[in-house]
Chains A and B, each alone.
Chain A
Amino acid sequence: GESVGLHLPTLSVQEGDNSIINCAYSNSASDYFIWYKQESGKGPQFIIDIRSNMDKRQGQRVTVLLNKTVKHLSLQIAATQPGDSAVYFCAEKPPDGGYNKLIFGAGTRLAVHP
């Protein structure tokens, strides 16, 4: 089946630096994407979403970029803080499914060092 994947399993950054987490998706017809953050021992938490008719969306300290040409999604975190340490998942809504059946990638662990 089609799935969402990630380039890097682990990313280590210094506190205050910017972080970029990447994700490659395989279904060019997917029309909606989400980033979730999962801290140790907790369930995933919504960060930001983007529809396929956009190529960039900004939130508070986070920006999601979508490149449909190469089927690539990225999450940029500005001024990374220790509280950003977590596993980050991208998820897509399949074209034949609803928002209820998200397909998650395998995750990237972000480690922030002081």
Chain B
Amino acid sequence: DTGVSQDPRHKITKRGQNVTFRCDPISEHNRLYWYRQTLGQGPEFLTYFQNEAQLEKSRLLSDRFSAERPKGSFSTLEIQRTEQGDSAMYLCASSSVGGGRTGELFFGEGSRLTVL
């Protein structure tokens, strides 16, 4: 399978703990995105990278959230001191600059976070 993969698929944690999600994009894609999706809602943009550079962050991304893409390949999203309001599906997507359909993002299956 050469699609976007995310790990773990599910994470249950206690409030105040730190969690980290990993995303492996499609190998030839240089853009990588993180979105958050709550039940019954559409995905909300969090941040995106072009290669290893983080080019944009949403105001939704509080100081407790940090994303990295150190070598321009996989990315991690860390949430520190989790709160119950962080419970959501965290979606990663990738795309290539100049290739494919303009707005086509290739999404992974997501990492579902439950904060108790």
Contacts and interface: CB of A to CB of B under 8 A. Distances in A.
B42 to A, nearest CB: 3
A49 B109 contact: no
A43 B111 CA distance: 10
B42 A100 contact: no
A100 B31 contact: yes
A100 B33 CA distance: 8
B107 interface: yes
B42 A104 contact: yes
B101 interface: yes
B74 interface: no
Interface stretch (B14-22, B43-51, B61-69, B78-86): B43-51
B48 A100 contact: yes
Interface string B10-52: 0000000000000000000001010000001111110010000
A49 B103 CA distance: 8
B48 A107 contact: no
B102 A44 contact: no
Interface of B: 4, 31, 33, 40-45, 48, 55-56, 58, 91, 93, 101-110
